[in-house]
Amino acid sequence: MAEGSPAMTFADYKTAVARAQKRHPEWRRGQTHFIVLTRLHRDLAEAVWATPLDPFSQDERLDAFLSHIEEHW
Domains in the chain, number? 1
62 closest CA partner among 26, 39, 23, 28? 28
62 occurs within a structural domain: yes
**What secondary structure letter does DSSP report for 38?**
H
- pLDDT tens digits, residue range 22-31? 999 999 999 9
What is the reported pLDDT for 7? 80
Instruction: List the domain range (segments joined by +) for residue 48.
Output: 10-72
The pTM score is 0.88
26 occurs within a structural domain: yes
1 occurs within a structural domain: no
Question: What separation in angstroms does the CA of 6 have from each of 9, 44, 53?
Answer: 8, 15, 25
4 occurs within a structural domain: no
49 occurs within a structural domain: yes
50 occurs within a structural domain: yes
Q: Which residues contact 3 (CB under 8 A, 6 or more apart)?
A: 39, 40, 41, 42
2 occurs within a structural domain: no
The 3-state DSSP class for residue 53 equals: coil
